[in-house]
């Protein structure tokens, strides 16, 4: 499943990376095009494996995922963001992983725009737990919006649960499922290149996730306050964990130390988003997050 909007060149690159995979002719690519009323068809959408679906703005990631799952005809559903690109062997790795008793598989990302120091920092913020993996390992959360699942475990999940990997993956685990991170499933991710984009994306994602967790788990008000109190310390803890992860890489350690203030600023934007989501609900954050995810410049 791939969704695109105004970033046509970037979306076409993502689609091309999927269509170049061996065995793609045995698959179906659901292309949700939110820009079809303003732009020509996306290059590659004429491929026989592509099902081109014109869309209108106003959707959220959760409602879009629910729609994609309902339309899908294959037993495995893989999600790829329009600012990501599948590397060679990505599809083969997904199909091989589901030959075992796994219900979800995520890959190990690489940064597509390492020339930007802000992009490097954002990449470490977003994907720190998935780096340095050299063999398949079980995980409780897979990389957001770029993982694959058995369709059977997704059917019946509400669009609210599908808004965030946090609640989606937790629902699969509660049902007895297995999630695996497989380094053979490799993909490139283009990150934000300005701190303002990083903060904007983290805030709307966090407000969405905070509200979704409260609704999905039925948290009473005291439980929400306890989670908010915990978020006050989260940025500092994450900075310490990140420094531990990059301790053997002088280049990455130097980057984190130089950008420590920006890192904490971004993490506290995320903490504030979670707190507002827990207290006040999502507002328009889910709709804004899908718009951000599809259209943020990220240096393009």
Q: Are 103 and 177 in contact (CB under 8 A)?
A: yes
Q: Is the pTM of this model over 0.85?
A: yes
Helix (H) or strand (E) holding 86: strand 84-86
Q: Beta strand 50-54 with 137-138: parallel, antiparallel or unpaired?
A: unpaired
Task: Give yes or no for a contact between 109 and 130, defined as CB atoms under 8 angstroms apart.
Answer: yes
pLDDT attached to residue 252: 84
pLDDT per residue rounded down to tens, the chain (300 residues): 999 999 999 999 999 999 999 999 999 999 999 999 999 999 999 999 999 999 999 999 999 999 999 999 999 999 999 999 999 999 999 999 999 999 999 999 999 999 999 999 999 889 988 988 899 999 999 998 999 999 999 998 999 999 999 999 999 999 999 999 999 999 999 999 999 999 999 999 999 999 999 999 999 999 999 999 999 899 999 999 889 888 888 888 898 899 999 999 999 999 999 999 999 999 999 999 999 999 999 987
**Size of the chain in residues:** 300
Residue 235: what pLDDT?
94
What sign does the dihedral 116-18-289-106 (CA atoms) show? negative
| Residues 186/90, Cβ–Cβ less than 8 Å | yes
pLDDT at 248: 83
- For the chain, what are the domain ranges? 195-295
> What is the rounded distance in angstroms from the CA atom of residue 271 to the CA atom of residue 286?
16
The Cα–Cα gap between 270 and 232 comes to 10
What was the pLDDT predicted at 30?
Answer: 98
Task: Kindly report the number of other CB atoms within 10 A of residue 182's CB atom.
Answer: 21
Pairing of strands 2-4, 84-86: unpaired
**What is the C-alpha to C-alpha distance for residues 118 and 191, in angstroms, rounded to an integer?**
8
Contacts of 21 (CB under 8 A, 6+ apart): 86, 88, 90, 91, 92
Give 60's contacts (C-beta < 8 A, 6+ positions apart): 159, 163, 208, 286, 287, 289, 290
Residue 93 has a pLDDT of: 97
Rounded to 5 degrees, what angle do the CA atoms 92, 95, 100 make? 130
pLDDT for residue 242: 86
């Amino acid at each position: 499943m791939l969704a695109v909007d105004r970033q046509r060149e970037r979306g076409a690159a993502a689609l091309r990376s999927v269509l170049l995979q061996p065995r793609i002719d045995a698959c179906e690519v659901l292309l949700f095009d939110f820009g079809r009323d303003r732009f020509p068809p996306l290059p590659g959408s004429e491929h026989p494996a592509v099902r081109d679906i014109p869309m209108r703005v106003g959707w959220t990631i959760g409602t879009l995922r629910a729609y994609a799952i309902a339309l899908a005809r294959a037993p495995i559903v893989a999600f790829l963001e329009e600012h990501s690109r599948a590397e060679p062997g990505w599809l083969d790795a997904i199909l091989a992983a589901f030959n075992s008793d796994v219900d979800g598989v995520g890959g190990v990302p690489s940064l597509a725009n390492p020339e930007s120091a802000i992009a490097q920092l954002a990449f470490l913020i977003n994907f720190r737990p998935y780096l340095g993996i050299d063999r398949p390992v079980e995980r409780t959360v897979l990389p957001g919006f770029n993982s694959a699942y058995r369709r059977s475990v997704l059917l019946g999940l509400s669009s609210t649960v599908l808004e965030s990997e946090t609640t989606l993956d937790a629902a699969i685990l509660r049902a007895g499922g297995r999630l695996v991170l497989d380094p053979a499933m490799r993909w490139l991710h283009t990150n934000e290149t300005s701190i303002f984009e990083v903060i904007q994306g983290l805030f709307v994602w966090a407000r969405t996730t905070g509200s979704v967790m409260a609704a999905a788990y039925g948290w009473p008000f005291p439980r929400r306050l306890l989670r908010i109190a915990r978020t006050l310390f989260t940025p500092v803890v994450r900075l310490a964990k990140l420094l531990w992860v990059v301790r053997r890489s002088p280049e990455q350690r130097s980057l984190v130390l130089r950008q420590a203030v920006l890192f904490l600023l971004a993490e506290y934007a995320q903490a504030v988003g979670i707190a507002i989501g827990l207290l006040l609900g999502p507002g328009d954050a889910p709709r804004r997050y899908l718009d951000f995810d599809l259209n943020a410049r990220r240096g393009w």
